[in-house]
Amino acid sequence: MNNSGDPQYQEKLIAIANQLKNHAGCIVLAAHVDPDGDAIGSVLGASRALAALGKKVIPVAVAPRYLEWMPKAGELTPKLEVLPADALLLVLDSAEVTRVDGVPMNQVGIPIINIDHHGSNPRFGDLSLVSPDKAACAAILTDLVAALGVTMTAEIAEPILTGIMTDTGFFRNSNTDAGVMHTAAELLNAGVSLAKINEALSSQPRSFFKLQSEVYATIEYPLEEKMVTAFVNGAMLERLNASWEDVESLVGYIRNAEGTYLACLYKDYGDSVKVSLRSKGGVSAQNIAIACGGGGHVPAAGATINLPFAEARAKLLFEAEKELKRVGIL
Ligand SMILES: [Mn+2]
């Protein structure tokens, strides 16, 4: 087990496991807005493990279309306006209180446990375990399942492994270390099928391919061709009968443009622009995202810039240029 993220990792893990085991009421689980594979995987993995302990669980999340295969029918609750009075709230993969989706975060008398792997997490909650060395929040949950004394079954392992696969870019990104490979091996030993997860995650609707050709047509190489950008807006989606979800993985493809260190997909919402950033070669997408009012990880980050496209693009390129100069690429 790799504990380098937090010297008190094991201690905090045990304290959290004990509080969860000792809590007599229900346990509500939630993750961040715009949930990804790690958010949904962490909520489902933790909730199935706690259910195996006999706990009453309410996992709160809405799986985006490409992750709809993950929950069983009726397993997820989309939203809770008010938490049950006896609830404990377990928040997963959420870098900030304001990022938590579907549950009230200010209800008096509700204990909150915060498990995450974003270094910028302010360690909110009554108990928190934030371990930035972990490639995925789901990887922490593998350790939590063990600390709870729950046997890792295929049913618990599948969403956890999915979270790890999506947050490591299918074991290709720089956060794929020996520790996460060991964790994945443990999950495979529990009987989960890597091929099944891979197939489910790789499947794309026809609208995705039409959209892909249009988005590729917008590719530009600014900043002395050290950066690659692509653009999508609502009108393109409407014309192709595609959805914003079809766009999610596109930045992962353009980041492969030869000779570039930084990839940006602009999602133009009209009065604001969401930028999804990917970086390599020492460039920090996180630095750029933070400068634009967002956040994330060093190799993968994002921000919503509340400006029309031309101004948002200028702001992003300004911050990107600063970062590329900082590492000596420009
Ligand atoms: Mn994550």
Residue 264: which H helix or E strand, with range?
strand 262-268
Confidence of residue 5 (pLDDT cuts 50, 70, 90): low
Of the three residues 201, 221, 236, the one that is the final residue of a domain is: 201
| Tokens standing for residue 330 | 């420009």
Distance 31 CA to ligand 1 centre (A): 10
Quickly list DSSP for 177-216: -HHHHHHHHHHHHTT--HHHHHHHHH---HHHHHHHHHHH
How many angstroms from the chain centroid is the CA of residue 251?
Answer: 15
Q: Report the range of poorest mean pLDDT among 32-41, 244-253, 264-273, 321-330.
A: 244-253
d(CA 313, CA 219): 14
Residue 219 and residue 186 in one domain: no
pLDDT of residue 205: 85
Closest CA to 137 of 175, 193, 104: 175
Distance 165 CA to ligand 1 centre (A): 10
Domain assignment present for residue 124? The answer is yes
CATH of the domain at 90: 3.90.1640.10
Residue 129: which H helix or E strand, with range?
strand 127-130
Percentage of the chain exceeding pLDDT 90: 89
The residue ranking higher by pLDDT, 113 or 3, is 113
- pLDDT digits 0-9 by tens, 205-239: 888 899 999 999 999 999 999 999 999 999 999 99
Cβ(243)–Cβ(237) below 8 Å: yes
Distance 178 CA to ligand 1 centre (A): 18
Residue 247 and residue 168 in one domain: no
Q: Which amino acid is at 159?
A: P
Residue 172 and residue 257 in one domain: no
Distance 38 CA to ligand 1 centre (A): 5
Asked whether the predicted pLDDT for residue 3 surpasses 80, the reply is no
Q: Which amino acid is at 276?
A: S
Distance 131 CA to ligand 1 centre (A): 11
Domain assignment present for residue 4? The answer is no
SS3 label, residue 251: helix
Residue 223 and residue 141 in one domain: no
Give, rounded to a whole angstrom, the gap between the first and last alpha carbons of the chain.
39
CATH of the domain at 230: 3.10.310.30
Region 166-171: mean pLDDT is 93
CB burial string 195-206: b at 16+ within 10 A, e below: eebeebbeeeee
Distance 50 CA to ligand 1 centre (A): 20
Distance 18 CA to ligand 1 centre (A): 24
Distance 176 CA to ligand 1 centre (A): 13
pLDDT of residue 314: 98
pTM: 0.83
Cβ(84)–Cβ(28) below 8 Å: yes
Residue 176 and residue 245 in one domain: no
Residue 231: which H helix or E strand, with range?
strand 227-233
Distance 164 CA to ligand 1 centre (A): 8
Residue 141 and residue 174 in one domain: yes
Total number of domains constituting the chain: 2
Distance 235 CA to ligand 1 centre (A): 30
Residue 244 and residue 176 in one domain: no
Residue 14 and residue 156 in one domain: yes
Asked whether the predicted pLDDT for residue 2 surpasses 60, the reply is no
- pLDDT digits 0-9 by tens, 245-294: 888 889 999 999 999 999 999 999 999 999 999 999 999 999 999 999 99
Region 6-13: mean pLDDT is 93
Residue 73 and residue 194 in one domain: yes
**220: domain range?**
206-326
Residue 135 and residue 250 in one domain: no
Residue 247 and residue 133 in one domain: no
Residue 136 and residue 118 in one domain: yes
Distance 280 CA to ligand 1 centre (A): 18
